[in-house]
Amino acid sequence: MRLDALWNYMQYDMEADRFENGMRNSPNRLKLLKQRDFLLEQQNNMKKVENNIATMSDRLEAVQDEADRLQGVLAKLQQELQEHQPETMEEIQKQLSAAQKLENTLQHYEQELAKMRKESEQFDRMQREIRMKAARTKAEYDELKRQYETEFKDAQAKLTELKQRSEEEGKAIDPAMMARYRQIKQHAMPPMAKLNGDRCGGCNMSLPAATRDKLNTGEEIVECDNCGRILFMPSAE
């Protein structure tokens, strides 16, 4: 079984694969992916902060409403006190204590509101920071993307050329043999290995006598018992 054509084809096939791999790992591409992830993260952060702001504003409104209501109750109580002077000491004390209690509660709400306003400001600040960071990265991302698009277009043209060349070489190969090659390629790269004495040049395992015999008869494709690569004996050797 002469495998020179398949071996020859493999060189072109591997070159195209290597080139494609290089494209996938291009520094600009990896950087773009990283920036895209960062932008998505900022979008999520922004959403979280927006939710916090919405919740906070609801709470602030509720507490403010309650404080306003108590303010009204207190004002009414004070007015009543002015209009109907209590007669007994006990009554005076009761009214004063009720007013005091209301004032205490109101004070507590005021503190609560002040705290919430401060938190709101913090959220606003966070929002501004996220927006700034995202805008900066977006500008870099857009610029890099422009560069990468040119780079990609050139690389894509080269890859097409390499693929066409290997395809051209592949035309000489028997389809069944090619199918086997493709299958082996799924788990072993490169899918063929030169014989290295009595060892597989791919995984360096020494081959059993039966495998060597099969190779010597040259009647079929022989695969390494260990790694599964197609074993190749160059014609000159």
Question: Which residues bind to Zn ion, rule: CB under 5 A?
Answer: 200, 202-203, 224, 226-227
Cβ nearer to Zn ion, comparing 99 with 233: 233
- Report in angstroms how near the CB of residue 224 gets to Zn ion at its nearest: 3
Cβ nearer to Zn ion, comparing 55 with 196: 196
- Report in angstroms how near the CB of residue 162 gets to Zn ion at its nearest: 27
> What DSSP assignment string belongs to the chain?
---HHHHHHHHHHHHHHHHHHHHHT-HHHHHHHHHHHHHHHHHHHHHHHHHHHHHHHHHHHHHHHHHHHHHHHHHHHHHHHHHS---SHHHHHHHHHHHHHHHHHHHHHHHHHHHHHHHHHHHHHHHHHHHHHHHHHHHHHHHHHHHHHHHHHHHHHHHHHHHHHHHHHHTTS-HHHHHHHHHHHTTSSSSEEEEETTEETTT-PBPPHHHHHHHHHT-S--B-TTT-PEEE--TT-
- Report in angstroms how near the CB of residue 49 gets to Zn ion at its nearest: 57
Cβ nearer to Zn ion, comparing 89 with 209: 209
Cβ nearer to Zn ion, comparing 191 with 202: 202
- Report in angstroms how near the CB of residue 233 gets to Zn ion at its nearest: 14
